[in-house]
Amino acid sequence: MTVIDANRMHEIETRYPEYFHRSFRQRFSGLMVVIVTLLYSLYAVWFFDLPKLFAEAHWERVGIYLSQWVSYDVQPEFRIEGDGSIDIRYPRFSPLGDNPHPDWLVNNPDGSITVSISGTSRSVTVSKSETIVTAHGVSVPVEVSSGAPKVVGPVPGWMTVYDDNVLADLGFAGNVSISVDRVKIRKRFIGWANFIFDTQSSFFDKPVGEVVSLIVSGLRIKPDQSNLSLAFDDIWNNSEWQHGDVWTKLFQTIVMAFLGTLLGALTAFPLAFMAARNITPNRLLNQVLKRFFDFLRSVDMLIWALFLTRAFGPGPLAGSGAIFLTETGSLGKLYSEGLENIDNKPREGVRSTGASNMLVHRYGIMPQIVPVFVSQTLYQWESNVRGATIIGAVGAGGIGLKLWEAMRTNANWENVAYMVILILIVVFLFDAASNALRHRLMGTKTH
């Protein structure tokens, strides 16, 4: 073991005072950060009243909305007529089409009708005098022959009795509403109904093999149009999913982001040279342009979109203009700061040869900044694809407006899921492409 004497210790302390004579801030900075963070967290809990917010939140709606993203329902209604017959009706725009005959609905010999909600474990049998709901291992009869529906026997927890109807909650599988003269059933299915062909298509409800056979070698359904062309038209003009309109709006969003970013970059590029102190030694011009950039980027893109939709009306032009104004400010600031941080030695070397300012910029500055500028611009373009979706919701066009319209109905959540997935795919592809281009320009390898 090595022993350090007093003189050696004093020498070490003199040489490295930052380790042996640390200030109060150095010694307790970590603890102070923890305390400040804890105090701020407590303040945020009090300010936003988080306990009350969480207690009053409708958490059950999360599951309902998520289930509607990945499923659809069919709502047959059974009306009990005066003569004891049962009339089956479906909503006008039922996923089953105009003349449905589902295999999960069975007409019994005694005149009753049995509907399978979820296999044999959950079912509903409707007759003129009673409705029997089977779920959770029990069958509960509900009499409908008197003035109000009446549950026979004990009422289970999943069934609620009101004055004029009885509601049976069967979970994700659906629910049943029973009144004296009618029974409404909501049966839920996993998947997206009629995603390829809608109920008006000539190919609706046909097996995949038959559809392929018709397209490849079948007789023409319409004499003046091939089956392949007809199938494409039916898919593109699907009235329920509106593929043509959705994809057109998605393309508008991409074009808005590209055009706005491109115009913003072209405008910000020359202005950045005038805003950079080491390029243009005019302090007043530098400050005016930098404050101009601050103003453009401090006004949110959404606010610019609101202004421009009032000026030009709703549409992609307003969206492109909003992105253009925001990106002029953002890229102008990034470009000017990039120019102020360049290495002046290459510029001085080119200037020492007697070259003009244009050549000095071309050979002394551009090789240093082009990869950085392109990288920043690509990142902004990728970000603006997401931003263009948001500003579309205020009337700036694109798929954002389509998405907002679907959400406002509070009934087309499967359409919302479809558009969200498309947006995620586009953002993922643009993110991958811009990352690859940035790494290529910067000379780094991707892993």
**Tens-digit pLDDT profile for residues 8-64:** 666 766 666 666 666 667 677 788 889 999 999 999 999 888 888 888 888 877 777
User: Per CATH, the architecture of 243-442 is what?
Assistant: Orthogonal Bundle (1.10)
**Cβ atoms 389, 217 nearer than 8 A:** no
Read off the pTM: 0.78
How far is it, in rounded angstroms, from Cα 91 to Cα 84?
22
Q: What is the pLDDT of residue 261?
A: 93
Residues 402, 246 contacting (CB under 8 angstroms): yes
Burial of 154 (0-12, 13-18, 19+ CB in 10 A): exposed
Q: Is 157 exposed, middle or buried (0-12, 13-18, 19+ CB in 10 A)?
A: exposed
d(CA 58, CA 124): 29
- The mean pLDDT of the chain is 85
CA atoms of 76 and 96, how far apart (whole Å): 10
Interval 325-340: pLDDT, tens? 999 999 999 999 888 8
Interval 383-400: pLDDT, tens = 888 888 888 887 777 888
**In this predicted structure, what is the pLDDT of residue 295?**
93
3-state class (DSSP) for residue 225? strand
* Alpha-carbon span 417 to 406, nearest angstrom: 10
The lowest-confidence range among 6-10, 256-260, 288-292 is 6-10
DSSP bridge partners of 186: 175
Cβ-in-10-Å burial (0-12, 13-18, 19+) of 256 comes to: buried
Q: Where are the domains of the chain?
A: 73-190, 243-442
Q: Are 179 and 126 in contact (CB under 8 A)?
A: no
- Mean pLDDT confidence for 286-310: 90
Nearest-10 Cα torsion for 385, 390, 395, 399: 60
